[in-house]
Chains A and B, each alone.
Chain A
Amino acid sequence: MNNLSGAGENDTPGNSAHAQPMIALAGAELHLASAGGNVNILRGINLTVERGETVGVVGPSGSGKSTMMMVIAGLERPTGGRVTIAGEDLSKFNEDDLARFRRTRVGIVFQAFHLIPNMNALENVAVPLEFAGADDAFERARASLETVGLGHRLDHYPSQLSGGEQQRVALARAFAPGPDLLLADEPTGNLDGETGTTIIETLFDLSDQHGTTLLLITHDPAIAARCDRTVHLRDGLIVKAEAAS
């Protein structure tokens, strides 16, 4: 194992011994078989993120940022190592258990928004709450949309919304169930600069308000710098971790 990979674990600011960390990756590996031989996407990642912490993930394309996030979200099973989220060992869960776990504990925001095209904004936000059997799914969804400033766009379909509005709906959807952990994969990647800034502001505001742990993949050093800590990935390894100055 590369020595540098341990940097994140050893250099974690605000490490509290009494509470379980929100994210604990221990030697997480992911190898995929392909026609050209084995591809090592993650090569033994050690990372601990405490509750309420915000962490920026940076690195060149193909460094394994998104894959690491998928492993944390339980969307991809690691081929080696251990993944513990909010004290739960994800390897014990089957696919449906993971879906149910994500539903209330993990919010995800994508670069491409991934709203459901045939549902309006309100319905898109209400869906995870409906999955969870919440009777007040639509009230909470409405409140969540009002928080992101879209109270007047409830009936609009994704195709009737601008990119920034779509991403705000995605944010409302991610935060509505009150998750412990929010994963954001380049949430401003498809937006212009000004809109991107608004989204990032909203993202950090909501995280603060809810005390949500935030893991944010970004190419923008300025955005990464707003996080409590930044980890740098290259070739499936954490090569550097730095706390906010």
Chain B
Amino acid sequence: MTHTDISWPLAARLARRELRGGAQGFRIFVACLALGVAAIAAVGSTRAMLEDSISSDAREILGGDLLVDIVHRPASPEERAAMDSAGIVAASAEMRAMARAENEQAARTLVELKTVEGTYPLYGTLETNPPLPRDTLLAQRDGIWGVAAAPELLSKLGVDIGDKLRIGETRFEIRAAITHEPDRIGGSGIFSLGPRAMISAAALPDTALVQPGSLIHYNYRLRLPENLLSAGVIETLNETFPDAGWRIRTLDESSPRLTRLISRVTMFLSFVGLTALLVGGVGVANAVRAWLDGKISTIATLKCIGAPRALVFRIYLLQVLSLATIGILAGLVLGAALPMVASDLLAQVVPIRISSGLFLEPLIVAAVFGLLTALTFSVWAIARAGDIPAGSLFRSLVSPTKGWPRAPYITLTVLLGGALAALAIATASDAYFAIWFVIGSLAAMTTFRLAAAGITKGAARLKDIRRPALRLAVAGLHRPGAPTASVVLSLGLGLSMLVTVATIEGNLSRQIAEELPADAPAFFFVDIQPDQIDPFRDLVAGVPGFDHSEQVPMLRGRITAIDGVAASEAEVAPDARWVLRGDRGITWAREAPSHNEIVSGEWWAADYTGDMLVSLDHRIAGGLGLEIGDTITVNILGREFTATVANTRQINWQRLAINFVMVFSPGVLESAPRMHIAVVHAEPSAEDPLERAVTDLFANVTSIRVRGALETVSALIGNVGLAVRLTALITLVAGTLVLAGAIAAGHRRRIYDSVVLKVLGATRRDIVTAYILEYGLLGLVTAAIAALVGSITAWAVVTYLLRLSWSFEPMAVIVTTLIATLITVGAGLIGTWRAMGQKAAPWLRNE
């Protein structure tokens, strides 16, 4: 007895012969896999397409081979000389400023101001309308500087080409509209608070916007000779100027924020796609079980004439795999084609040039996901098929493919499920979220499985129902072979995903659109110089509708060490990493901020002048592993300051107050160049006069309208929410497919039932009522559980991941319930309608 008799080639030969009979009953199987794989492949391909577009245009997006970013100060002559010796340099200053129209309305708006010099752009081309050479575009003409403005700026201010506008203390003539700025997102990123205004570097001094402490990024883009490696240049620059405090970005990080956003959004979309695949998995399991039930005789015959269990397992595994391949391939084709079709649409949302193409890696990942799902959900039934006793040829058996398979196959199923989870975690850009997704899906699947068992048992216990239609409906939920379990599981998963997504989005928009503005300030004013603070305070207080304001000094600094360990090497919790990313606003204070609560340690005395102390946000301190008495080192304007942690504060970030992660003790930082920021609370009617008053008097001060910023964020959430909801719909479609499959499987039963009922005198109306009740009950119960599971998931995400306050979203639940009932009753009735048309006699004869 050797292992040759269970060889794969023999199994393949027999599987091929078996498949000749066609793959009846596998349409749902193939569709479920195709749908899930398509969702994952489409999301992955979209991500690859965007990332590829970014990396292939990296030079244009970054604006050079290297970008040296210095905050607050321009490069020293020595630093500039070192850059010049490495390659061609294009220097620019980027900041936020106010632009005012010189028209009747004197409209004003915040602009993202950028100065450029003759070498700009080093890569790509600046396109304007009308197209003008650089000299004509920005140079001084008749004593007036030129400005190129984004079209939004023109429409916001109600001005046109040739009109004048004021930026800071200077007048500019609008010479052209910018139609394409190659390095738009490489500099300030994709989240801009205002439209672009581009001026000549030579015009900057005239604006008087450059004040001590004002937040200006001096960006030096370098075009290196081809033989020079950027790593070498960075090393030389850092070694020669170790205290420069600059941040040097290479082509790999041409647009880190956009890349991060893409990876975040696509990760969540992949999770939704994966849920669709899991829902489809239920359909896969149903299809395989039903198919194998029809193969009992063949399997028993094979075993009678000498096939060992393992060979039977292989024969049917190979058949399932071949059909899975068809589903996966269909999904891959769809998933690869979708992003290509949608690339034009994407280009309107993502501000980069999108080059579509075929990306292999995401397709391979999607295929592996599909394969693992197909295997995880079918091995159980196939293993049970291998256990069909050969003796069943001599007697009929009921549902032989139910129950537990042998231990090795249980282990195999668990391993496959584990591999699926591992792949989900390994391919996610954030393992932490992915682990929670896996735990959540397992919990949801278990809940639905248990709920289904509960419904079946509960329905079986319902006795003494007088109304025949209701009695039939309840019986339909628990009779042997009822689709209750698979419908509750698959449709339930799809629906709870929908509830989760809708509830999270509802919570987000409610907070941003309704709750935040309730106590949100009207304005943030930034770049207020120390000598402007008193007149500023008096000015705003005098505007009718003014409520109150708060001003604090602000500097910017970068954390370089945590308790003596370099920040790059410190172990930091994922939700605290953002603090180490680039510069953070910092301040000092004598008194503890009134809206913060001291959680540990003590605030320093108001007249404290000793060694530098720092107060930290409590959660961030925990994330950085810092305790009272530990130290933190911050680089401010090129100098390193080490402070001892004195206390931690609980900050409510949802309140739009001025909050700082780090508040230092007074004394040391007071002499550093700084500016102030202010929040002003005022009635909506006071917003225009306030902005006018402040920006008229202080040309260098920039105002940020909170309402406008919130609208921008709302719009972004709306866009992302739409993408997530559309993907979540795929989950629901998968659930509906499974439902359709389950109902189709019961088609013969339904025909027989309706024939017998007709014989016994039931009218068509009686029968239809019974089915409506049966599927209505199923839909309602499924929706109720889905609403519960979805709401709990959303609560966990909102409370623990997004750290926002949670509220129940009744609309999400109502809509879900309606959808579920409509789908189940609809699908059930379509099936029933076909059954009703059958003539009784032939069925009675056949049966």
The 8 A CB mask of B18-44 against A (1 = contact, 0 = none) is 111100000000000000000000000
Indicate whether B482 reaches chain A with its CB closer than 8 angstroms: no
The 8 A CB mask of A57-81 against B (1 = contact, 0 = none) is 0000000001101100101100000
* Closest beta carbon of chain B to A181's beta carbon, Å: 13
Instruction: From B303, B304, B393, name the one whose CB has the most chain A CB atoms within 10 angstroms.
Output: B304
Indicate whether B309 reaches chain A with its CB closer than 8 angstroms: yes
A102 close to B21 (CB less than 8 A): no
A99 close to B308 (CB less than 8 A): yes
A131 close to B10 (CB less than 8 A): yes
Number of interface residues of A (CB under 8 A): 33
- Tell me the residues in window 90-143 of chain A with beta carbons closer than 8 Å to chain B beta carbons: 95-97, 99-100, 102-104, 108, 110, 112, 114-119, 123, 127-128, 130-133
B391 close to A116 (CB less than 8 A): no
Dominant secondary structure at the A interface: helix
Indicate whether B305 reaches chain A with its CB closer than 8 angstroms: yes
B389 close to A96 (CB less than 8 A): no
* Contacting residue for A102 out of B4, B300, B304, CB 8 A: B304
Report how far A128 CA is from B306 CA in the complex, Å. 6
For B22, the closest partner residue in chain A by CB is: A118
CB neighbours (8 Å) of B20 from chain A are: 118
Indicate whether A185 reaches chain B with its CB closer than 8 angstroms: yes
CB neighbours (8 Å) of A123 from chain B are: 17
Report how far A130 CA is from B21 CA in the complex, Å. 21
B302 close to A116 (CB less than 8 A): yes
A114 close to B1 (CB less than 8 A): no
CB neighbours (8 Å) of A51 from chain B are: none
A118 close to B307 (CB less than 8 A): no
A131 close to B307 (CB less than 8 A): yes
Indicate whether B749 reaches chain A with its CB closer than 8 angstroms: no
* Given known A114-B301, A116-B298, A131-B5, contact A102–B306 (CB-CB < 8 A): yes
* Closest beta carbon of chain A to B432's beta carbon, Å: 46
Indicate whether B800 reaches chain A with its CB closer than 8 angstroms: no
* Given known A70-B394, A131-B10, A133-B4, contact A118–B21 (CB-CB < 8 A): yes
Indicate whether A168 reaches chain B with its CB closer than 8 angstroms: no
* Closest beta carbon of chain B to A121's beta carbon, Å: 12
Report how far A70 CA is from B394 CA in the complex, Å. 8
Report how far A123 CA is from B305 CA in the complex, Å. 13
A119 close to B5 (CB less than 8 A): no
CB neighbours (8 Å) of B17 from chain A are: 116, 118-119, 123
CB neighbours (8 Å) of B13 from chain A are: 130
Indicate whether A229 reaches chain B with its CB closer than 8 angstroms: no
CB neighbours (8 Å) of A110 from chain B are: 393
The 8 A CB mask of B376-407 against A (1 = contact, 0 = none) is 00000000000001110110000000000000
* Given known A75-B391, A110-B393, A114-B393, contact A131–B306 (CB-CB < 8 A): yes
- Tell me the residues in window 759-786 of chain B with beta carbons closer than 8 Å to chain A beta carbons: none
A76 close to B307 (CB less than 8 A): no
Indicate whether B207 reaches chain A with its CB closer than 8 angstroms: no
CB neighbours (8 Å) of A128 from chain B are: 305-306
Report how far A66 CA is from B394 CA in the complex, Å. 7
B389 close to A75 (CB less than 8 A): yes
A100 close to B393 (CB less than 8 A): no
* Contacting residue for B394 out of A75, A117, A119, A173, CB 8 A: A75
Indicate whether B733 reaches chain A with its CB closer than 8 angstroms: no
B393 close to A131 (CB less than 8 A): no
Report how far A181 CA is from B394 CA in the complex, Å. 19
B21 close to A133 (CB less than 8 A): no
Report how far A96 CA is from B406 CA in the complex, Å. 14
Indicate whether B310 reaches chain A with its CB closer than 8 angstroms: yes
Q: How large is the interface on B (under 10, 10 to 19, 20 to 34, 35 or more residues)?
A: 20 to 34
For B1, the closest partner residue in chain A by CB is: A100
Report how far A173 CA is from B306 CA in the complex, Å. 12
B309 close to A75 (CB less than 8 A): no
CB neighbours (8 Å) of B305 from chain A are: 102-103, 108, 127-128, 131, 173
Q: How many A-B residue pairs have CB under 8 A?
A: 86
For A131, the closest partner residue in chain B by CB is: B306
B1 close to A70 (CB less than 8 A): no
For B19, the closest partner residue in chain A by CB is: A118
CB neighbours (8 Å) of B737 from chain A are: none
B298 close to A73 (CB less than 8 A): no
Indicate whether B2 reaches chain A with its CB closer than 8 angstroms: yes
A103 close to B390 (CB less than 8 A): no
Indicate whether B297 reaches chain A with its CB closer than 8 angstroms: yes
A127 close to B21 (CB less than 8 A): no
* Closest beta carbon of chain A to B666's beta carbon, Å: 83
CB neighbours (8 Å) of B306 from chain A are: 99-100, 102-104, 128, 131-132
Report how far A110 CA is from B297 CA in the complex, Å. 12
B310 close to A96 (CB less than 8 A): yes
B303 close to A99 (CB less than 8 A): yes
* Closest beta carbon of chain B to A61's beta carbon, Å: 12
CB neighbours (8 Å) of B10 from chain A are: 130-131
Report how far A100 CA is from B14 CA in the complex, Å. 17
CB neighbours (8 Å) of A75 from chain B are: 304, 389-391, 394
A100 close to B297 (CB less than 8 A): no
* Given known A75-B390, A104-B306, A110-B393, contact A118–B18 (CB-CB < 8 A): yes
B19 close to A96 (CB less than 8 A): no
Report how far A88 CA is from B310 CA in the complex, Å. 23
* Closest beta carbon of chain A to B493's beta carbon, Å: 35
Indicate whether B93 reaches chain A with its CB closer than 8 angstroms: no
A114 close to B304 (CB less than 8 A): yes
* Contacting residue for A99 out of B18, B307, B391, CB 8 A: B307
Indicate whether B222 reaches chain A with its CB closer than 8 angstroms: no
Indicate whether B825 reaches chain A with its CB closer than 8 angstroms: no
For A133, the closest partner residue in chain B by CB is: B4
CB neighbours (8 Å) of B300 from chain A are: 114
For B2, the closest partner residue in chain A by CB is: A133
For B390, the closest partner residue in chain A by CB is: A75
* Closest beta carbon of chain B to A36's beta carbon, Å: 16
Report how far A128 CA is from B4 CA in the complex, Å. 13
A117 close to B391 (CB less than 8 A): no
A117 close to B1 (CB less than 8 A): no
For A176, the closest partner residue in chain B by CB is: B305
Report how far A163 CA is from B307 CA in the complex, Å. 25
Report how far A116 CA is from B296 CA in the complex, Å. 11
Interface residues of B (CB under 8 A from A): 1-2, 4-5, 10, 13-14, 17-21, 297-298, 300-311, 389-391, 393-394
Known contacts A118-B19, A127-B305; 11 additional CB pairs below 8 A are A95-B309, A96-B309, A99-B390, A100-B5, A100-B308, A102-B304, A117-B21, A118-B21, A128-B306, A130-B13, A133-B2
Q: List 8 A-B contacts (CB under 8 A).
A: A70-B394, A99-B309, A103-B5, A116-B298, A128-B306, A130-B10, A131-B10, A131-B305
Interface residues of A (CB under 8 A from B): 66-67, 69-70, 73, 75-76, 95-97, 99-100, 102-104, 108, 110, 112, 114-119, 123, 127-128, 130-133, 173, 185
Query: 8 shortest A-B CB distances, which residue pairs?
Result: A103-B306, A75-B391, A96-B308, A118-B21, A128-B305, A114-B301, A131-B306, A75-B390
